[in-house]
A = this chain, B = another copy of it.
Amino acid sequence: MLSKKTKYGLKALTYMAKKESRDPVLISKIAKDENISKKFLEIILLQLKNSGFLGSKKGKGGGYYLIREPEDITIASLIRILEGPIAMLPCVSLNFYEKCDDCKDEETCSLSKLMIEVRDSTLKILENKTLADLTQSTLSA
């Protein structure tokens, strides 16, 4: 399960990507419109800035703004920044690999083959979806 932090981050970025202009958007505006705690969102957007996804401007007329095209930001890259590993086990993670302390040998681990399969099928989606895809409103009818 994704944490609220990740969920809020994705929603906030989608909010910004949906706007036609790239003018700075207030934290407080996003927080209100998306029902997110403002203080919590501050932390999240700051992290996204420090990770190179957002720029910011202080003072009146300030706020956060996207510094890359939504089409160029994969959901996988965002989840990795906000959440961490996408794989179900650290020992099959591509970006956050960690050795299992209980496994003698990764080659013979009964779980790793399956978990690699799950990882790859998830990545196939998340690496190919971008922020731009999230801005397409999901028609329900």
1/0 per residue, CB under 8 A from B, across A67-88: the answer is: 0000000010000000011011
Nearest Cβ on chain B to A8's Cβ, whole angstroms = 8
A134 partner residues in chain B, CB cutoff 8 A:
110-111, 114
A107 partner residues in chain B, CB cutoff 8 A:
138, 140
Task: Give the interface size class of chain A.
Answer: 35 or more
Asked whether A101 is an interface residue with its Cβ less than 8 Å from the other chain, the reply is yes
Closest residue of B by beta carbon distance from A13:
B110
Copies in the complex: 2
Closest residue of B by beta carbon distance from A109:
B138
CA of A14 to CA of B1, assembled, Å: 24
Contact B114 A137 (CB under 8 A): no
Contacting chain B: which of A46-54, A55-63, A120-128?
A120-128
Nearest Cβ on chain B to A79's Cβ, whole angstroms = 9
- The one of B10, B114, B125 that contacts A117, using a Cβ cutoff of 8 Å: B125
A108 partner residues in chain B, CB cutoff 8 A:
137-138, 140
Contact residues of A with B, CB < 8 Å? 1-2, 7-8, 10-11, 14, 34-36, 75, 84-85, 87-90, 101-104, 107-114, 117-118, 121-122, 124-126, 129, 133-135, 137-138, 140
